[in-house]
Amino acid sequence: MQTPRGYRFSWSMTALMLISTLLAGCGINNIPTYDEQVKAAWAQVQNQYQRRADLIPNLVETVKGYAKQEQATLTAVIEARAKATSIQVDASTLNDPEKLKQFQEAQGQLTGALSRLMVVSERYPDLKSNQNFLALQSQLEGTENRISVSRKDFIASVERYNTEIRTFPGRLWHSVMYSDLPIRANFEATTEGADKAPEVKF
């Protein structure tokens, strides 16, 4: 037979479990969960951009072997890579829209420089048939596809997180428990000029 104290303990545990279930069911954990998903998605974006940056030195060296006279284009790629890798946006600076914009612009400039390099390479049949160049070109194309997918996943995760903060009941939980987590900036749909083919003058 349970004592009154035993009944009170049993009732308290039941009430605590019921409250916990109700709170979990009404989205109290959504904001930190979505925040972690944003960070994970961003890490994937960074991984793919780093993969591209790692391919560039070998690509430039290969092109240089066949097209030394394209020094301006090669230099533009090297400088754009240096700028892109110098701007780092990690989980601690992901809330800074200006930093994210700088990162995006630098990566966009590198994309443009690489596009010009690929256009220039069309002028050199020996380069186009070089196995090393073909392998690097294929890896670069695959990486660009992965970047696109990673960016899309990041955009979706930020939209889900921001929507949760701005709508009920997430807005309530944000004001009560997670006010230190801000609305997050996102990638723009396109980088300025990204929808135009690069102008190449020979």
The 8 Å CB, 24+ separation contacts for 139-145 are 139/55, 140/52, 140/55, 140/59, 140/114, 143/48, 143/51, 143/52, 143/55, 144/52, 144/111
Structural domain boundaries in the chain: 30-176
CATH 2.40.420.20: does it fit domain 30-176?
A: no
Tell me what the pLDDT averaged over the chain comes to: 85
Q: What are phi and psi of 29, to 5 degrees?
A: -95, 0
Instruction: Look at residue 17 in the predicted model and tell me its pLDDT.
Output: 57
> Contact, 161 vs 38, CB < 8 A?
yes
118-127: average pLDDT:
93
Q: What is the pTM of this model?
A: 0.80
Q: What is the pLDDT averaged over residues 9-21?
A: 57
DSSP 3-state of 28:
coil
Q: For residue 87, which phi and psi values (nearest 5 degrees)?
A: -100, 110
Q: Are 155 and 147 in contact (CB under 8 A)?
A: no
pLDDT in tens, 89-121: 988 788 888 999 999 999 999 999 999 999 999
Q: 196: phi > 0 → left, psi -120 to 50 → alpha, else beta; which? A: beta
d(CA 126, CA 171): 61
**pLDDT (tens digit, 9 = 90+) per residue, 47-66?**
999 999 999 999 999 999 99
- For residue 19, give both structure tokens: 């409250």
Question: What local confidence, expressed as pLDDT, does residue 26 receive?
Answer: 65
